[in-house]
Amino acid sequence: MSQSLPPVAPSVTAELVAALSPRLSKRLDGGVGKLAGLPVVRDGDTARIALDNTTAVELHAPGGMVRSADAIRCGCLLAPACLHRAAAASAAPVAASGPGTDTADPHADHPSPPVASAPADSGTGPPGPAPAPVQARPTPPAQRDPGVRPDTAGRPGTGVPPVAAADGPAADVSDSATPNQRTAARALYDAAAAVLEAGTDGSGAVLQAALLRAAHTARTAGLPRPAAAAVSVVNAVRAARGADPAYRLTDLVSALRDTLAAAHRIPAATGGELTALRGTSRQPYVPEGSLRLYGLFCEPVLTATGYAGAVTWTADSGGRLYTVSDVAPGGVGRAVGAADRAVRIGDTALTHRELSRAGLAVSGATVSPTGRLGAGAKVRAVRASGADWNGPPLDRLWAVPVAEQVARALDGDGHGLLFLDIVILGTVHEAAGDVLLADCDGLPVRLAVAHDDPGLPHRDNVRHLAAARGARLRAVARLSPAPHARALLLATGHPTDPGARVDLGLDRLQHADLPALPPPSPTAAPPGADEAPLHLLSRRVHQAASGGRRVLAFPGAGSADGGRLRGCGLATAAELLDALRTAAAERARDPFGRLLPADTGLFARAWLAAARYTQEIDRAWCAAAWNAVRATAPRTRAP
């Protein structure tokens, strides 16, 4: 039902839940569950949920979003102080700040700016320099420990490494967070720590509303980036509690880690680091003059926050990427239909689908730092000829060594896109389903679906491509950091038509499109993540995010894991695991022997240190896996 309801602003949900009496607060989760089973009737900007024959809840969303508590009305006798209004707000998607921002951009699923690389630590001596993961293949993490060292200001293993300052001109180091920002950051940290303490099962609508209130306060205090990360936590928790097929535990871990890390650092950060942590509410658009663009591909957008649409990727003759987007509140129908809408630049009548194959000549262009084209009144655009992937100027995108592309994506430079020449080998089974296995310059690469929604053709197209074993194709994918070479497949060349291309989220391949090719010789699948002993720590990080502190508090839970990590030379990982287990089990008692409330802050700090450590290890593993591609080998043109 949540996808049928309009998005609700975080402040609205927080206000309605806070107004409930303690008795009604205890019944809120049950109320949300009851509403989830009722049909929603949409009439323009109004969504109506019939509670019975005479009573209904209405959500008024002018412009596609509920912006005030008064816009949610109920016809029951207890209204407006009833449970139904708060339950409806809690069941609806959380509204982002809307298209056009860099922190709540509905189609910005690109990697966020990376954290500073942690120093190597063998556990027996002083820290050494961080490894360079791309220039030379790093030693596997099983033999070295490029970990986060415990902080020196508090308990061992509970500190958090600093976030790297943003690239660009040096900022004024005297710049520091305002008192309001420090207060908002601490409130955000406490709210996120409470969600971590409870886990997904224990984080009901009340805890979610508390985190949404903290996110709203952070945004009004000028901290849009951590506020957006907190909203992502709520979305992931709701997906987990609602058994959403699109839910991924890794998404929850990433959102919790980003929220806690930013909130932890903001009170002490200065200069460029603080600027990066704050984020910006809206991206500035700067004049770019005249542009000659060539369509690359188009991808559908469908987010958990209730936004949908399409994004078309283009490139200029120098290989710089630009995007044209049409994203607004909606569901999968809008994601599919937006591709046939005209692009909103100048007077051109090109649709997104057409632009992905054609070209565009733009005068008076304005461009955001991420390459999004503005649609101001002075911008003029006309249709121009397109270019083939195999010819100039687009072929230069595939000429860049893959290892260099991966390094750029891991460093947050660009959009995380990879331009690959592949040979299809078949499929490999993963927990979330089968993924395409392909050869890329001698390296087995896993190409997963970019979106699992059955209304989009991603999975059907990947299944058809897997049957075209031996086919040589050019592909565009988005890096998916993992201990093995893995990416999300977005577009490919056509299996039987060398001049055509397939947007895997919009076009549908048929059996007749597949070539009759003999299967290639068997190729070994890439190693799994569990072959690395680091999973002994990472699985505890994931267990805590899912089950809360209590799952790590049981005596003897994972007690032998620390010794195994130390035996593999991962002394820092072992210390972080021990600190995490200790923080989970630590409970003080009052003079009468009664247990006092747990220290959620201590557990959150220990968890955050372990999560940041595994993040850096995953980055090193990812770079090492992709570095196996022959970076110096000549790139051949796909047929």
pLDDT digits (tens, 9 = 90+) for 212-226: 999 999 999 999 999
pLDDT digits (tens, 9 = 90+) for 235-280: 999 999 988 877 889 899 999 999 999 999 999 999 999 999 998 8
Antiparallel, parallel or unpaired: β 433-440 and 443-449:
antiparallel
Measured CA to CA in angstroms, residue 392 lies from 216, 352, 453, 497, 499 at distances of 48, 22, 35, 19, 13
Region 365-381: what's the mean pLDDT? 89
Q: So what's the pLDDT on residue 636?
A: 45
Region 428-444: what's the mean pLDDT? 87
Which residue is associated with the tokens 């500073």? 116
Task: Indicate the burial class of 613 (C-beta count within 10 angstroms; 0-12, 13-18, 19 or more).
Answer: buried
**How would residue 599 be classed by pLDDT, with cut points 50, 70 and 90?**
confident
Region 443-450: what's the mean pLDDT? 93
* Token pair belonging to 406: 């991966």
CA distance 427 to 459: 12
pLDDT digits (tens, 9 = 90+) for 560-581: 888 888 888 889 999 999 999 9
CA distance 413 to 415: 7
CA distance 401 to 420: 9
Single out the residue of 65, 87, 90, 62 nearest to residue 76, CA to CA. 87
How many C-alpha atoms does 263 have within 13 Å on its Cβ side? Answer: 32
For 213, list phi and psi in degrees, rounded to 5: -65, -45
Q: So what's the pLDDT on residue 100?
A: 35
How many C-alpha atoms does 73 have within 13 Å on its Cβ side? Answer: 9
Region 312-320: what's the mean pLDDT? 94
Would you say residue 161 has pLDDT above 50? no
Region 349-359: what's the mean pLDDT? 93
Single out the residue of 447, 441, 440 nearest to residue 489, CA to CA. 447
Residues sharing a CB contact under 8 Å with residue 503, sequence separation 6 or more, in sequence order? 297, 298, 299, 339, 353, 356, 490, 491
CA distance 105 to 127: 39
Residue 394 burial (CB count, 10 A): 21
Q: So what's the pLDDT on residue 557?
A: 60
Q: So what's the pLDDT on residue 414?
A: 64
**Cα-only R_g, the chain:** 25
pLDDT digits (tens, 9 = 90+) for 64-102: 889 999 999 999 988 898 999 999 999 998 987 543 333
Q: So what's the pLDDT on residue 559?
A: 66
Q: So what's the pLDDT on residue 101?
A: 38
Classify residue 449 by its DSSP letter: E
Q: When comparing pLDDT for 376 and 548, which is higher? A: 548
Q: So what's the pLDDT on residue 2?
A: 56
**How would residue 629 be classed by pLDDT, with cut points 50, 70 and 90?**
low
pLDDT digits (tens, 9 = 90+) for 515-536: 765 554 444 444 444 445 788 8
Rounding to the nearest 10 degrees, give the CA dihedral for residues 87, 91, 93, 96. Answer: 30
Would you say residue 176 has pLDDT above 70? yes
Percent of the chain with pLDDT over 90: 51
Helix (H) or strand (E) holding 447: strand 443-449
Q: So what's the pLDDT on residue 281?
A: 76
Q: So what's the pLDDT on residue 164?
A: 33
Compute the mean pLDDT over every residue in the chain, rounded to the nearest whole number: 81
CA distance 282 to 275: 14
* 3-state DSSP assignment of residue 486: strand
Q: So what's the pLDDT on residue 484?
A: 85
Would you say residue 630 has pLDDT above 80? no
Single out the residue of 23, 214, 9, 189 nearest to residue 97, CA to CA. 9
Contact yes or no for 573/613 (Cβ under 8 A): yes
Q: So what's the pLDDT on residue 634?
A: 45
CA distance 95 to 250: 22
Which residue is associated with the tokens 């304005």? 366
pLDDT digits (tens, 9 = 90+) for 101-160: 333 344 443 333 333 333 333 333 323 333 333 233 333 333 333 333 333 233 323 333
Region 40-60: what's the mean pLDDT? 91
Q: So what's the pLDDT on residue 530?
A: 43
